[in-house]
A and B are shown apart, each in its own frame.
Chain A
Amino acid sequence: MSVIRPAHLGMLIAVGASAAMLAGSPAGAQQDPKAPPAVENPPPAEGPLMGRPETPGAQALAPLAPPPLVTPADKLPIDKIKVPDGFKVEVFASGIKNARTLRVGDEGTVFVGNWQANKVWAITEKDGKREAKVLYEDLDWPNGLAFHNGTLYIAEHKKISKAENIEANLDNPPKLVTIYDKLGNPRPHGWRFLGVGPDEKLYVSNSSPCNICMPEPGFGEIRRMNLDGSGAEAIVRGVRNTVGFDWNPANNQLYFTDNNRDWLSEDLPNGELNRVTEPGKQHFGFPFCHQGDLADPEFGWGYDCKDFTPPIAKLGPHVAPLGMRFYTSDMFPEKYDGAIFIARHGPWNRTKKIAADVVVVQLNDEGNFESMEPFLTGLIENNKYIGRPVDVTVMHDGSLLVSDDWNGAVYRVSYTK
């Protein structure tokens, strides 16, 4: 009845090898660095774990499950969050399970989408009192949100729908009307990101449904379509999993973040910031080439990284860059004008945890990368996340909202001279 699986064989070999090394060490020689402890019952190297090397250090890693309950307002890590001098961070909303995508309506309503909690929330302020309520529930991974000309667009796993004149009907939201239903199934990486471009068209992600694979046609794309869902076309190809994009107000070009593959190494590959200069014509590398200069050890054979569009910036190994937003308001100091705020969720696929922050990326006059520096930090303690930023958006007053799906909260960052 006992079935020997390759995972166990690999562990036996690894243990045998280190024992042999110790036996051969001369007395008094330097000790080898500390090895990770063996994992008693490694989970399967499938789904998000596909491609995992069968070694104890790798077997110890898996996607991180947040606490089952949202963090109460008085227990949020607000005092631990650090922002630059002159900035202040406060709790904007709490109790919003799996709070992820943020969008601001014309009248100031803050819409919050989520991945696994299947709801869309609306946060409003009346007479100085802030209220968060569920607008739609029983949706299917409603991670994608966009607001345009009074209409809220929601991208679920398989479809996009809309609710017109939403801010006038928050107490009695209209039934969602489906405008597009050709988004891919299967599930992996099937939570969407949505936006409306300066060309008045809807953009939606249809990411590659795997850690590393040759995606079927139609996957690994950002698609563009008319606001009624017609005329869909691939505008970006060779994407692994994008959960953030925005348009540079200086050149109207689309910039997007991309989460790179797992299990290649602790320190590679980097998350990407990409720039679309020729819509519909560029391939950004997946699954052949990662971060512009690293051929995939399997799918990269026979390809040249030079044939793909490289990212304009490497954002750190496995950091999971998600939501991003160009800052065009005037509350923050001048240096932030036209800069990009990017939420880095923080890696699960790395032993030493990093990021879980918001960084600010400065572009040069040509619209390319100039610098990256931390903006909102402090959410890692004892190598564990105490919060994980997902999306950023700018309110009408110029303050920055940051969502945290670990705690189910939204923070507001403001600046006073």
Chain B
Amino acid sequence: MRLALIALMLFAGTAFAETKHFPERKELCLGCHGQNGVSPTPQTPSLGGIPEYYALLQLVEFRDGNRKSDIMREMVKDMTDDDLRAAATFVAEQPRPPAPEDPGNPARMQRGVELAAKARCGQCHGKKFLGGEQMPPLRNQREDYLLKALLDFKAERRLGNRAAMVEVVTPLGEKDLADLAHYLAHIEE
């Protein structure tokens, strides 16, 4: 115990310079976020298809407390910069989620197409909603997580870069957001 404390103190000077916690926590990540990039956990996003830059940005924001999530904060609060880099690389290696077998409610899917066009989601997130270098994918993400994210932006619980998403969702109602989430989650191959 005492030895560990001394080791910790020695590490403090270079705390952000090497991988410390990520290797041993990798399985914990998968425990909630799921194997093969697909999350089985309510309100918890699938990680498949998220690019490295965006993953790193979110991990840093969780660690700094700018993006609120008690569980993510707990997971990353003592991670070094290199831990976060390694975690972001790991996230980017996950395969993107396949389309669900459920094709979705036809009326809601049609509403979703229209809402996505009106909100111009595809202009940043990609024509096929697969994201970009600094942009997360939306396609086949968990419906409940998409809705949670959209509602967090609407309530300004989450701001994101320059509050761009806050601006996008402000004119949309909660039913709109639910249909949008339903559509994005269920797009077929």
Contacts and interface: CB of A to CB of B under 8 A. Distances in A.
28 contacts: A1-B113, A3-B117, A7-B123, A41-B123, A41-B126, A42-B123, A43-B124, A46-B168, A47-B167, A48-B162, A65-B161, A68-B53, A68-B59, A69-B81, A69-B85, A72-B16, A72-B81, A97-B64, A116-B159, A116-B161, A116-B162, A117-B66, A186-B167, A186-B170, A187-B162, A187-B167, A188-B167, A190-B163
B25 interface: no
A47 B17 CA distance: 37
Interface of A: 1, 3, 5, 7, 41-44, 46-48, 63, 65, 68-69, 72, 97, 116-118, 137-138, 186-188, 190
B181 interface: no
A43 B132 CA distance: 11
Interface of B: 16-17, 53, 56-57, 59-61, 64-66, 81, 84-85, 113, 117, 120, 122-124, 126-127, 132, 134, 159, 161-164, 166-168, 170
Contact of B60 (A48, A63, A69, A188): A69
Contacts of B120: 5, 44, 46
B127 A41 contact: yes
A117 B134 CA distance: 18
A117 B113 contact: no
B125 to A, nearest CB: 9
Contacts of A65: 57, 134, 161
Given A63-B162, A188-B167, A137 B84 contact: no
A3 B81 CA distance: 42
A3 B113 CA distance: 9
B123 to A, nearest CB: 4
Given A44-B120, A65-B134, A186-B167, 12 more contacts: A41-B132, A43-B123, A43-B124, A44-B124, A47-B162, A47-B164, A47-B167, A68-B60, A117-B64, A138-B65, A187-B159, A188-B162
